[in-house]
Chain A
Amino acid sequence: MSSPALLEVRGLKKHFPVRGGFFARVQDWVKAVDGVSFDVYPGETLALVGESGCGKTTAARCVLRLIEPSAGEVLFEGRNLAQLDSAGMRELRRDMQIIFQDPYSSLNPRMSIGNMIGEPLRVHGVTGNGELERRVSELLEIVGLSAAYQRRYPHEFSGGQRQRIGIARALAMNPKFVVCDEAVSALDVSIQAQIINLLNDLQAQFNLAYLFIAHDLNVVRHIADRVAVMYLGRIVEVAPVEELFNAPRHPYTQALIAANPVPDPDVAQEGQPLQGDVPSPLRPPSGCHFHPRCPQAMDKCKEKYPDTTAMSETHSVSCLLYES
Chain B
Amino acid sequence: MAETQILDEDELALRQPPESPLREFWHIFRRDRLAMAGLIVLVLLLFAAFAAKALTEWTVVFDPATVRLVDKFKPPMSAASTLLPAEDLPRGGIYLLGTDELGRDVFARMLQGSFVSLSIGFVAVGISIFIGILLGGLAGYYGNLRIFRLMTVDTLIMRFTDVMLCFPTFFLILTVVALLPPSIYNIMIVIGLTSWMGTARFVRAEFLALREQDFVVAAQAMGLPERRIIFVHMVPNAIAPVLVSATIGVATAILTESALSFLGFGVQPPFATWGNILSDGKGYIFDAPWLFFIPGMAILVVVLAFNLVGEGMREALNPKLRRRT
Interface residues in chain A, defined as those with a beta carbon under 8 Å from any beta carbon in chain B: 23-24, 61, 64, 66, 89-91, 93-94, 96-98, 100-102, 104-111, 119-120, 123-124, 142-145, 149, 152-161, 166, 169-170, 173, 188, 190-191, 194, 197-198, 201
Contact = CB atoms under 8 A, between A and B. Distances in A.
Contacts of B217: 61, 66, 98, 100
Contacts of A66: 217, 220-221
A108 B233 contact: yes
A144 B5 contact: yes
Interface string B131-171: 00000000000000000001110010000000000000000
Nearest to A179: B221
B21 A109 contact: yes
Contact of B4 (A23, A90, A97, A144): A144
A190 B324 CA distance: 22
19 contacts: A61-B217, A64-B221, A66-B220, A90-B223, A94-B223, A97-B221, A98-B217, A105-B213, A110-B236, A111-B232, A119-B219, A120-B224, A144-B4, A156-B18, A158-B12, A160-B7, A160-B9, A169-B218, A201-B4
A24 B152 contact: yes
A110 B237 contact: yes
Contacts, number: 121
Interface of B: 1-7, 9-10, 12-14, 16, 18-21, 150-152, 155, 213-215, 217-225, 228, 232-233, 236-237, 323-325
Contacts of B18: 152-153, 156
A90 B233 CA distance: 18
Contacts of B3: 194, 197, 201
Nearest to B4: A144
Given A160-B6, A197-B3, 18 more contacts: A66-B220, A90-B223, A91-B223, A98-B218, A98-B221, A105-B214, A108-B233, A109-B325, A110-B236, A120-B223, A155-B323, A157-B13, A158-B9, A161-B6, A170-B218, A197-B4, A201-B3, A201-B4
A143 B224 contact: no
B224 A123 contact: yes
A124 B152 CA distance: 33
Contacts of A106: 214-215, 218
Contacts of A94: 223
Contacts of A169: 218, 222
Given A119-B222, A201-B2, A160 B10 contact: yes
A160 B5 CA distance: 11
Contacts of A101: 214
A190 B19 CA distance: 27
B292 to A, nearest CB: 46
B262 to A, nearest CB: 42
Q: Which of A98, A158, A160, A170: most chain B CB closer than 10 A?
A: A158
Contact of A190 (B7, B16, B155): B7
